Amino acid sequence: MMDSFIKKIFSGKRDEFVHLQFQKFSKGEFRNKALVNVSKSKDNYSIATTYEYVNEFVRSVASRIKDGEKVKVSGVIVSTRNLRELPEFSKLFGNVEIKQFMGVKQFKISTEMTGKEIVGLCDSLPNSFLALSFSIAGTELKVKPKAPKSAKPSTSDKPIVPDFCKIKTGDISLVREVLFDVDEFKKVAIGHDFIITGLEIPKNESDPLKMREKTIRKGKIVRRLNIDGKELVKERDFEA
């Protein structure tokens, strides 16, 4: 079982995966982030989230694939780098369709991969967005094949529908990755506000890109839960 970045923060943990989630954020209040809807029907669960959980779920579902088994993988990998130029990816991306806009490239893939190969992609491309869809026994993962929107402070109270990533599964351990603080339920809706109040900028770094990547964001996360109509609010200070 893997921990979501939100679970890590509320558990007081801090690692590179948590840090990567906040690299694009400046100071400000970013409302309605990392949204999750989960519903239960008998022993089956439907999970729907916004884009923040995509890489985590791709890795988590892939890690459940049996050794040696291949699954059909489709979608796009979003990166600012030309992944074709990297020797280890020359075969995977050699003849794929590439869309580019404002320096961001989308590599469209449709192939068969093992779980280890998918997890290997996650490990090798931590700064890329892996909008990949595939299914395993008892679990179906569907991700919209496009790049997520950039992180900007909220200017609207218009409801956001968490439908970027959808999972149907009978695996409760997968559900617990996002519902780590929820016991019995039929329907759960969760949203988060990221309130970033401080930036710890590295002093000995002159490269603007590396400076942004290495900057530590400090602030608070407000976690809002609606569990079968009952509303709860939790807060946690964080550095990432």
Report yes or no: 143 and 165 within 8 Å, Cβ to Cβ.
yes
Q: How far apart are CA 223 and CA 228, in angstroms?
A: 16
Q: Which amino acid is at 146?
A: K
- Spatial neighbors of 213 by CB under 8 A, at least 6 apart, are 23
Phi, psi of 12, deg, nearest 5? 80, 15
Q: How far apart are CA 203 and CA 200, in angstroms?
A: 9
> SS3 for 140?
strand
CA nearest 144: which of 130, 165, 162? 165
What is this structure's pTM? 0.92
- In tens digits, the chain (240 residues) has pLDDT values of 678 999 999 999 989 999 999 998 999 999 999 999 999 999 899 999 999 999 999 999 999 999 999 999 999 999 999 898 888 888 888 888 999 988 899 999 999 999 999 999 999 999 999 999 999 999 999 999 999 876 566 555 667 889 999 999 999 999 999 999 999 999 999 999 999 999 999 888 888 888 888 999 999 999 999 999 999 999 999 999
Report yes or no: 190 and 50 within 8 Å, Cβ to Cβ.
no
| Beta sheet of 98-101, edge-to-edge order | 98-101, 104-114, 70-79, 129-136, 139-143, 165-169, 44-49, 28-41, 187-200, 216-227, 230-239
Q: Where are the domains of the chain?
A: 5-239
Phi, psi of 96, deg, nearest 5? -85, 160
Whose tokens are 């990547």? That residue is: 213
Q: What is the dihedral of CA 104, 123, 220, 177, to 10 degrees?
A: 120
Report yes or no: 237 and 196 within 8 Å, Cβ to Cβ.
no
Return the pLDDT at 160. 84
Burial 177-194 (b: 16+ CB within 10 A, else e): bbbebbeebeebbbbbbb
Report yes or no: 2 and 223 within 8 Å, Cβ to Cβ.
no
- Spatial neighbors of 161 by CB under 8 A, at least 6 apart, are none
Return the pLDDT at 150. 67
